[in-house]
Structure 1
């Protein structure tokens, strides 16, 4: 019967070197045994040294991509990646509300893991007010969580307070990724707050490497894949944490500088 195989979609930009964006998502979908599709919002020309050019897709083309997939496939879960401006965020929100693509995993690409801002103020406010409330799961990094809830996080209690504020903003389940602080760091701890109020920490050794491109994309993509296979949110997040840890630890040498993680290291 058509559409029995679990199907998912990433709503994100294309990264020409394959290390991040929808390419990282599709690699993750493939290795997690779901059929991955994509709605392309932007295209980036780049390599392991950096980004050399980028362009956004016209909104009418994005609309048609949503319609084309909705008319044929039975999508069980979806995720967003970087959405560059307020117009694009509003477009994606409106389209997601008119189709049935299952639970939405929001990777709020706002601030890098080192604290550099990626979105202009207008786009950030639109993301916070329009996209966050649609999230079945939201996966901000440490700096993104601080920005989203407008507070400084210094302790475990602060992290939990931030997660609860994201609940209040409408996100059902929250995973705040731990800070990557300095060269002496030995551990990364992530906080998970579930819709039912349960919270727990996920801990893993910190791996010092430049081969981490696409980590956030792949984490959220793995959660999306597991939700499509009817895993609970708790199971999906736990599997995703293990998936990216193993993918970082088992490096592949692709590119000269900042390389991708190894999606093929964790397959079951």
Structure 2
């Protein structure tokens, strides 16, 4: 059985964070493990509180996983403090973790800011360079590239700017585009578009967590990046088209749609 570790924040409402990651991994018949970086008080209407876990305890959790059940892939989500990011980086290097997927969680689906300004530099210069693939949405890609994105042409320019300091794969998700939902995979000058259509479903809580976890699952199974992204997109479409309707805001996906 393949194993995937998620390093991310907890979502008490179950739609995003490690809860969405574990559901996604289980749906993919993957053994899921988690290292909690933060507790959040949130639901479908917003994020109301964040309590960071002490960096040393984050490191202790990683030690326990890596020395006992070594993961075939690692997905990293919400890390809101520089000290936590640096601790994760140290441990990933120490254990030579493989198939690292970084979802640079900066802004929640509901529009809440989740990443502190002083953590941005550590994320960009220390953590992202370790990743095989990063999966920013358009608002996150705007932060990473320091530019606005309104079109597919600007998605390409943003990927190129991010690629100036990062040699791995960059998946910019196009769900925030007005006229399409096409995703762009960029790697060292090579472009691959994944056509997407708008799905009439306002319940999108945890889509980024779910997609990045699905990619990690596919990488753990031995698929290449291109195949892993393609299959993960099929899964996220399935989870959206199921049109689960829970909560008073942007509700969660149906991770059991398969």
TM range (shorter): over 0.9
For residues 9 and 110 of structure 2, the distance between their equivalents in structure 1, rounded to whole angstroms, comes to 21
Change over 3 Å in CA distance of 1:115–1:256 after alignment to 2: closer
Structure 1 outlier segments of 4+, above 4 Å: 112-117
1:160 alignment partner in structure 2: 156
1:48 alignment partner in structure 2: 44
For residues 108 and 47 of structure 2, the distance between their equivalents in structure 1, rounded to whole angstroms, comes to 15
Q: TM-score, normalization: structure 2? A: 0.92
Q: How many residues get paired?
A: 258
Unaligned runs of 5+ in 1: none
Q: 2:184 aligns with which of 180, 191, 194?
A: 191
> Residue 176 of structure 2: SS of its match in structure 1?
coil
Offset at 1:167? 2.5
Matched, 1:102 2:98: yes
2:56 alignment partner in structure 1: 60
Confirm or deny: 8 A CA contact 2:45 2:110 kept in the other structure: no
Matched, 1:84 2:80: yes
Matched, 1:26 2:26: no
Deviates more, 1:219-228 or 1:238-247: 238-247
Q: TM-score, normalization: structure 1? A: 0.89
Confirm or deny: 8 A CA contact 2:78 2:105 kept in the other structure: yes
For residues 143 and 186 of structure 1, the distance between their equivalents in structure 2, rounded to whole angstroms, comes to 16
Confirm or deny: 8 A CA contact 2:56 2:87 kept in the other structure: no
Offset at 1:134? 1.0
Deviates more, 1:35-44 or 1:88-97: 88-97
Query: What is the RMSD of the two structures over their aligned residues, measured on CA atoms?
Result: 1.9
Confirm or deny: 8 A CA contact 1:107 1:140 kept in the other structure: yes
Offset at 1:52? 3.5
